[in-house]
Amino acid sequence: MNLKVEANIINYSSFPLIKTLIKILSTGLMTGAIIWELVNIYGTLNNWQLPSHLNWIFWIDRIALISHSIEGIIAAYYAKLQDKNPLQYGIYTFFVGTVGLLELKTGQDGKE
């Protein structure tokens, strides 16, 4: 995608609303995934038997955690190249996902 097309997408009138909704939903889901994994670890350490029909949730949350971690690492790297705080951008992008990478690329600071 070239810069002109990206600029048209970002300047689209409903894009800020969509971006805000994605941020809220993604942050909630990532927090839930972290809590779900912590409960699973706690249950494993205390020999709890979780129902086997919940295994699909663990797979989904692990995929989400891994993909968001990769996005966070990429954001931290590019933030360092742009002389910005890599830890701040890495954590922010971990929770909000691709929107954080888009904001970093376009020069927004993530605050509306």
Question: pLDDT for 23-58, tens place per residue?
Answer: 999 999 999 999 999 988 998 899 888 788 888 888
pLDDT the model gives residue 8: 59
The answer to whether 71 and 101 have CB atoms below 8 angstroms apart is yes
Structure tokens at 82: 């742009």
Please list, in sequence order, all residues whose beta carbon lies within 8 angstroms of the beta carbon of residue 68, skipping any fewer than 6 positions away. Answer: 30, 93, 94, 95, 97
Q: What is the mean pLDDT of residues 84-103?
A: 93
Other residues' Cβ atoms within 10 Å of the Cβ of residue 5: 9
pLDDT at 111 over 50: no
Mean predicted lDDT score pLDDT of the chain: 85
Give this prediction's pTM: 0.78
